[in-house]
């Protein structure tokens, strides 16, 4: 799939992995629409890239349907989707005071990370199915899981469940969409320098990076974007989850 003049959508595109991906796509000549809830960062980045911003809750049927229609009206049917939108809410199954994990918190993480990814992917695919193929394919979906899908730590039960769901739906999504020429690949990042880690001290960040076998540092969002670019470019990559983690296997805590 070539990027030049291709319409693309990045969820969670206002910061972190999504912002790096939006920059990569725009640099390659794509017409980028950012879906995010952060209007300040999203509008600024869209202006920088000559793209569009839409305030979207990815778990909302109406938000996604409306934003998809607006993006298509402006840029044409999107052929590339990168789902980076995600949240975390650390909590143990039984908390220190003996109370159970708040169900609303668990549900919210699953709604945004797993249901949100499927919501955008399914609507993207339905719109793209009506377009002509470009060569042998119509387009590609890149979803974002996490090494927590495999190595979930203490306090990550909701997050790991949501990311494990993304890994689990990768192959059936790819099989569902194979007949219409839409590929689906998932990236499972390890520890990356994203806004969720910016609250940590430099010492804590360095310690976290040293847990990575090689290279012993935090991943840079541009490295996630580089892998997304390779997935988009290679039509034989399909139905797979790729760990991007410097060989880390997370400890229990």
Catalytic residues: 159
DSSP per residue, 215-230: S-SPBPHHHHHHHHHH
Helix ranges (DSSP H) in the chain? 16-27, 39-49, 61-75, 103-110, 116-128, 148-151, 157-177, 202-210, 221-233
| Whole-number Å distance between alpha carbons of 243 and 50 | 31
Q: CB of 83 within 8 A of CB of 121?
A: yes
Place of tokens 């109370």: 99
| Whole-number Å distance between alpha carbons of 237 and 137 | 12
Helix/strand/coil (H/E/C) assignment for every residue in 174-192: HHHHHHHCEEEEEEEECCE
Residues 6+ apart with CB under 8 A from 44: none
Distances (CA, A) of 49 to 14, 24, 25, 37, 233: 11, 10, 9, 18, 21
φ, ψ dihedrals at 109, nearest 5°: -65, -45
| Whole-number Å distance between alpha carbons of 62 and 58 | 9
Helices 116-128 & 61-75 angle (0-180, nearest 10) = 40
């Amino acid at each position: 799939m070539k990027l030049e003049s291709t319409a693309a959508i990045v969820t969670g595109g206002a910061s972190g992995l999504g912002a790096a991906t939006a920059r990569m796509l725009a640099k390659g000549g794509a017409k980028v629409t950012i879906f995010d809830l952060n209007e300040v960062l999203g509008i600024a980045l869209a202006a920088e890239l000559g793209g569009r911003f839409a305030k979207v809750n990815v778990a909302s049927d109406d938000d996604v349907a409306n934003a998809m229609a607006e993006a298509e009206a402006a840029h044409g049917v999107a052929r590339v989707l990168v789902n980076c939108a995600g949240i975390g809410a650390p909590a143990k199954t039984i908390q220190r005071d003996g109370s159970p994990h708040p169900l609303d918190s668990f549900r919210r993480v699953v709604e945004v990370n797993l249901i949100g990814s499927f919501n955008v992917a399914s609507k993207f695919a339905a719109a793209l199915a009506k377009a002509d193929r470009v060569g042998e394919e119509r387009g590609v979906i890149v979803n974002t899981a996490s090494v927590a899908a495999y190595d979930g730590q203490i306090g990550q039960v909701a997050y790991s469940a949501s990311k494990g769901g993304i890994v689990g739906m990768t192959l059936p999504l790819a099989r569902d969409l194979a007949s219409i020429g839409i590929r689906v690949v998932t990236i499972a990042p390890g520890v990356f320098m994203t806004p969720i880690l910016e609250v940590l001290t430099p010492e804590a960040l360095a310690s976290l990076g040293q847990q990575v076998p090689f290279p012993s540092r935090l991943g840079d969002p541009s490295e996630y974007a580089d892998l997304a670019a390779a997935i988009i470019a290679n039509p034989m990559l399909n139905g797979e989850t790729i760990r991007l983690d410097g060989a880390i296997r997370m400890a229990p805590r």
